[in-house]
Structure 1
Amino acid sequence: MTGRLLAASFVLIVFTTACAGHLTLTQETQLAKSQSVFLEPTKDKTAYLEIRNASDNPGLTLSGLQEAIAAKGYTLVEDPEQAHFLVQSEVVYCNKAKGGTTADTLLAAGWGGAIGAVAGTGAFLGGGSPAWIPGLGIGGALAGAAASKLTENTTYVCAIDVQITERTKEAVQQTITQQAAPAPSTRASSVISALIGGTSVAPPTAGNTQQQITETRTGHTRIHQVRFVVSTTKMWLGLDEATPALEQRLVQGISGVLP
């Protein structure tokens, strides 16, 4: 009798926990960006594309980005000197959302911002306590905790920093202040240096993520920097299932910026 009561109670707890936790049976994917980007329309439909992945999800390759850009009438070139737009992107995080690393915190950090802000203990642990049901005692509490785990949603979140450099007819003087990234890419730096003349006033310790770099550039180019953050949620969601949805929305978002 006791066994049947516990079994029935467990089923009840699973049902109520699922309802209270807004159980997600259909995968939901959302995309946001740190700021708006406005590029000048042009007849020169040439673009240079560079994709890097510094996250721990090598499966996120943005393989469809080249095709999406080409579908908008652009010709992808291998020489950045021959491109009107340089689209450089780096996946900086792609994994489960957790305390301090959620879509909101990644978006708020902005382009080049730190990953994994410190969160309170309550947020990290879930911020809740087991629900007690009269008559079930500790068994009910344990069943509630198990049911919560069985029915909890899983969210994966990816952040990608995108830098778009566009050529301009007029000379442009632009000052950019940003957080320094550790071990900057030699390829990316050489591309920008080749296109834009300028003076860096970065401190000697600019490699530290807590430092900031301020650069004043003068030339016939304009730089736009934006962070895209995409999240996808579903009950029992795995990384292999999450990655295609994340990649599809990121490809749509990045290609959609080009005029």
Structure 2
Amino acid sequence: MIRFNGLIITVIFALSLGLSGCSALSTSVKKKDLAVETKMSATIVLDPVTSDKRTVYLQLRNTSDKQSLDYQTPVAAAIKAKGYTIVEDPEKAHFWIQANILQVGKSDLRTVNGKTDQGYGAAIQGAKIGSMFGDGDGQLAATVVGGLIGIITDAMVDDIVYVMVTDLQISEKAKQGVDVTESNNATLKQGDSGEQTQQSVETVDRKKYQTRITSTANQVNLTFEEAEQQLLEGLIQSMSGIL
């Protein structure tokens, strides 16, 4: 009887691994390779300039909780490789590139996609398989074991995606004789119920363009350390590619 029960459990394990964990196993196969994407919310097209105007001032920030993301040096290197000069004085630069890594978030797509009951579903499937074996106490034990195996199998697989959001502003000097008017509106809160509105209009010598860069890295059981470099490379390519 003991050997027979052992055989039942072995069969349950195999079937449960294949069926109750089918979603988990499918994710493991489909997402085994790291997939990275970088997209801009809007395209920025700059006017061509002569070689003496190929100067850039960089102001790069990172206000996310991932302070290991240092992109100042590689962005500067990528821009220099395209024939531009990085300058320290903003007044001497034809272009300003100002950016801030706003946030880096982590999500499990198996949960985000509405599958919040994933673990329970695997348990139910495993229990169903277990209930097919034996009868009486043996069937009950097999059902419990099948359910537990389903939970364990499913818990081993996470469909992880890291999303990095970067705000970007590019400024370029306006041509001689061209005045650019800049208008700013702001509403300031005053206590719990009041607010104050401020408006300002000024003439500046730069045209400004804004966009947002969203970078994603997706792989099964992905860690941030594994995604970090790929996310940075996508961001660097997008920022330097504007020039």
TM-score bucket of the superposed structures, by smaller chain: 0.7 to 0.9
Aligned CA distance change for structure 1 residues 151 and 167 (closer, same or farther; 3 Å)? same
Equivalent residue letter for 2:187:
P
Match of 1:45 in 2: 54
State the percentage of identical aligned residues. 27
Question: Take 1:39 and 1:162, find their aligned partners in 2: how far apart are those partners?
Answer: 14
**1:219: Cα distance to partner?**
1.9
> What residue in structure 1 maps to residue 204 of structure 2?
219
CA contact (8 A) 2:9 2:145 kept: no
User: Which residue does the alignment assign to 2:14?
Assistant: 8
Task: Tell me how far apart the structure 2 counterparts of residues 212 and 229 of structure 1 sit (CA, whole Å).
Answer: 32
Using the alignment, how far apart are the partners of 1:213 and 1:68 within structure 2? 40
Q: Deviation of residue 10 (structure 1)?
A: 3.8
Does the Cα contact within 8 Å between 1:160 and 1:229 map onto a contact in 2?
yes
Please report how far the alpha carbon of residue 214 of structure 1 lies from its aligned counterpart in structure 2 after TM superposition.
7.0
Distance change in 2, residues 1:6/1:83 (3 Å): same
Equivalent residue for 2:86, pick from 66, 76, 79: 76
* Structure number, greater radius of gyration: 2
Give the Å deviation of 1:41.
1.3
Match of 2:138 in 1: none
Cα gap change, 1:8 to 1:124, in 2 (>3 Å): closer
Q: 30, 33, 37: which one pairs with 2:37?
A: 30
Structure having the larger proportion of residues in helix: 2
Give 2:234's aligned residue: 249
In 2, are the aligned partners of 1:31 and 1:228 still within 8 Å (CA)? yes
Assess if the C-alpha contact under 8 Å between 1:23 and 1:151 holds in 2: no
Q: What SS does structure 2 have at the residue aligned with 1:218?
A: strand
CA distance in 1, matches of 2:200, 2:153: 53
The correspondence of residues 79-158 of structure 1 with structure 2, limited to 5 A, is: 79-97=89-107, 123=112, 126-129=115-118, 130-131=121-122, 132-133=124-125, 134-136=128-130, 137=143, 139-158=145-164
Superposed CA deviations along residues 150-172 of structure 1, whole A, max 9, x for unmatched, are 23321111001011111111212
Alignment partners' CA distance in 2, 1:205 and 1:168: 35
User: Any gaps of 5 or more consecutive residues in structure 1?
Assistant: 100-121, 176-199
Give the secondary-structure state (helix, strand or coil) at the position aligned to 1:40. Answer: coil
1:173 and 2:185 matched: no
CA distance in 1, matches of 2:231, 2:185: 37
Most deviating of 245-254 and 57-66: 57-66
SS of the residue corresponding to residue 56 of structure 1 reads: coil
Instruction: Return closer, same or farther for 1:40/1:214 CA change in 2, 3 Å cut-off.
Output: farther
When residues 247 and 9 of structure 1 are mapped into structure 2, their CA distance, relative to the original with a 3 A threshold, is: same
CA shift in 2, pair 1:203/1:18, >3 Å: closer
Q: Tell me the distance in 1 between the aligned counterparts of 2:11 and 2:199.
A: 67
User: Residue 94 and residue 214 in structure 1: after superposition, are their counterparts in 2 closer, same or farther (change >3 A)?
Assistant: farther
Contact 2:21 2:150 (8 Å CA) reproduced:
no
From 160, 168, 173, the equivalent of 1:162 is: 168
* Among candidates 182, 186, 201, match of residue 202 of structure 1: 186
Amino acid at match of 1:49: L
Looking at structure 1, the residues matched to 239 and 96 of structure 2 have their Cα atoms a distance apart, in angstroms, of: 12
**C-alpha distance in 2, partners of 1:34/1:68?**
22
Alpha-carbon deviation of 1:19?
4.8
Aligned position for 2:222: 237
1:213, 1:226 → 2: CA distance?
25
Post-superposition shift, 1:223? 0.9
